[in-house]
């Protein structure tokens, strides 16, 4: 495990909010992150709570995200070559992703292009494992995830216009322990906030914490 915190869209404020949830437990528990990408959150939590059991679920090969060697060059070349929209995800890190619609074939082609043209390091399961060798990882959509394990805390960071948040939040509840904690993001997002709030209302989930700065929220007693 390296010494530098992996990049990602999870802000320092969110990292600390989630860390405080884990630290509130008397004993080490189990943590599941849906949409773990680079491993930024799990890496950070492990620094403070090394005895917890960590699991990440992410369809790495189905997304196009990379740590760019040069941000502007990456964006320009990929947009020109494939006609997709690319954005810089985090102003404090060189994380870049394709945000317009693409299919699995295109995702594979773009990721291969990034490697071939030395534009950066693609975010893959191997990249996650290099950052979080202590964690279990499952390369799949959360819709496909199956386990008999129950978790003390689930952090749900996956988002997208095609995701059914109501269905996925309901599925996440199946993997929570009776006194488990669900942590979500993007409550106030201009792009996804309505989708998140509608899911919470449909499920009658009432967040006990809604962080106005980041849009992170905490739900207990599900």
Same domain, yes or no: 117 and 150 = no
- 6 in any annotated domain: no
The angle formed by the CA atoms of residues 85, 68 and 79, to the nearest 5 degrees, is 25
Same domain, yes or no: 141 and 110 = no
DSSP-derived letter for residue 52 is S
- Domain hosting 53: range is 12-58+131-220
pLDDT at 91 over 70: no
Same domain, yes or no: 84 and 170 = no
* Calculated CA dihedral for residues 24, 11, 139, 115, nearest 10 degrees: -150
What's the mean pLDDT in 94-114? Answer: 86
pLDDT tens digit string along 195-219? 999 999 999 999 999 998 889 999 9
The sign one gets for the Cα dihedral 120, 6, 60, 134 is positive
Q: What is the pTM of this model?
A: 0.90
Residue 70: how many CB atoms within 10 A of its CB?
13
pLDDT tens digit string along 175-196? 999 999 999 999 998 888 999 9
Query: Average pLDDT over the chain, rounded to whole?
Result: 91
């Amino acid at each position: 495990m390296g010494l530098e915190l992996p990049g990602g869209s999870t802000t320092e404020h969110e990292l600390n909010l989630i860390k405080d949830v884990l630290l509130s437990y008397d004993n080490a528990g189990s943590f599941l992150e849906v949409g773990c990408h680079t491993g930024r959150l799990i890496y950070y939590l492990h620094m403070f709570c090394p005895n917890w059991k960590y699991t990440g679920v992410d369809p790495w090969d189905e997304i196009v995200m990379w740590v760019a060697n040069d941000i502007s060059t990456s964006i320009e070349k990929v947009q020109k070559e494939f006609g997709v929209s690319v954005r810089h995800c985090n102003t404090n890190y060189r994380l870049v992703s394709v945000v317009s619609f693409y299919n699995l074939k295109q995702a594979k082609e773009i990721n291969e292009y990034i490697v071939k043209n030395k534009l950066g390091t693609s975010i893959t399961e191997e990249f996650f494992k290099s950052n979080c060798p202590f964690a279990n990882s499952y390369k799949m959509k959360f819709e496909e995830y199956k386990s008999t394990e129950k978790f003390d805390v689930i952090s749900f960071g996956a988002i997208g216009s095609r995701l059914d948040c109501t269905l996925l939040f309901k599925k996440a509840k199946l993997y929570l322990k009776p006194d488990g904690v669900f942590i979500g993001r993007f409550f106030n997002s201009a792009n996804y906030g309505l989708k998140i709030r509608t899911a919470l209302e449909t499920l009658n989930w009432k967040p006990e914490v809604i962080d106005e700065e980041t849009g992170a929220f905490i739900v207990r007693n599900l």
